Amino acid sequence: MIKVQQDNFDVGAELADLTAGNYGIGGVVSFVGLVRDLIDVDGRDAALRAMTLEHYPAMTEKKLAEIEAEARSRWPLEASLIIHRYGRLEPGEQIVFVACAAAHRQAAFDACNFLMDWLKTDAPFWKLEETDAGEGWVDSRESDDEAAARWQIKPDRAAE
């Protein structure tokens, strides 16, 4: 299931919903991404006031659904969930949630890892950071491309 929303989410409630009534599930692995309070600005630490996530709604839903379908084709998952927030978020707030449930733990761990790596490089979100010095857009990271590449699908990027 995919949820793209401005509102916060309750991890406990989401996990309870994900596994409710399915006694074939032997394990759930989840990841929560949070807004950090320190960022790197030109090699120096800067205090983050807030981060604003912009996205391309129609494409976001489509890409996240594709990424989830890919995970479910690779691992025997009983249930899966991706929540990605957008809008203005302050340090400590939750940004993203991925949960995978399976009969056995290895599939759940691997699928969760895959989903996070893959959504970093494929989901159309952009982060704008606010510090006391002003605003700046976050640059994409080569390490994220490398993390996604280890699952042996070429990042689906134009002009590369």
Partner 1 sequence: MKVLYFAWLRQRIGVAMEEIELPDDVDDVGDLVGWLTAKGPGYAKGFAEPQVIRAAVNFEYVPFDHKLSNTDEVAFFPPVTGG
Residues 8-67 that bind partner 1 (CB under 8 A): 33, 53-56, 58-59, 62-63
CB 101 within 8 A of CB 71: no
Task: Give the torsion sign (CA, 25, 68, 94, 35).
Answer: positive
| 142-149 and 105-122 helices, crossing angle to 10° | 140
Is 115 within 8 Å of 98 (Cβ atoms)?
A: yes
Does 127 participate in binding partner 1 (rule CB under 8 A)?
yes
Nearer to partner 1, 79 or 98 (CB): 98
Q: Residue 137 interacts with partner 1 (CB under 8 A)?
A: yes
Assess 134 for contact with partner 1 (CB under 8 A).
no
State the Cα–Cα distance between residues 149 and 83, nearest whole angstrom: 23
Number of residues near partner 1 (by CB under 8 A): 34
Task: Indicate which single residue of 138, 146, 149, 150 sits in contact with partner 1 (rule: CB under 8 A).
Answer: 138
User: Binding residues for partner 1, per CB under 8 A?
Assistant: 33, 53-56, 58-59, 62-63, 84, 95-96, 116, 119-128, 137-141, 144, 156-160
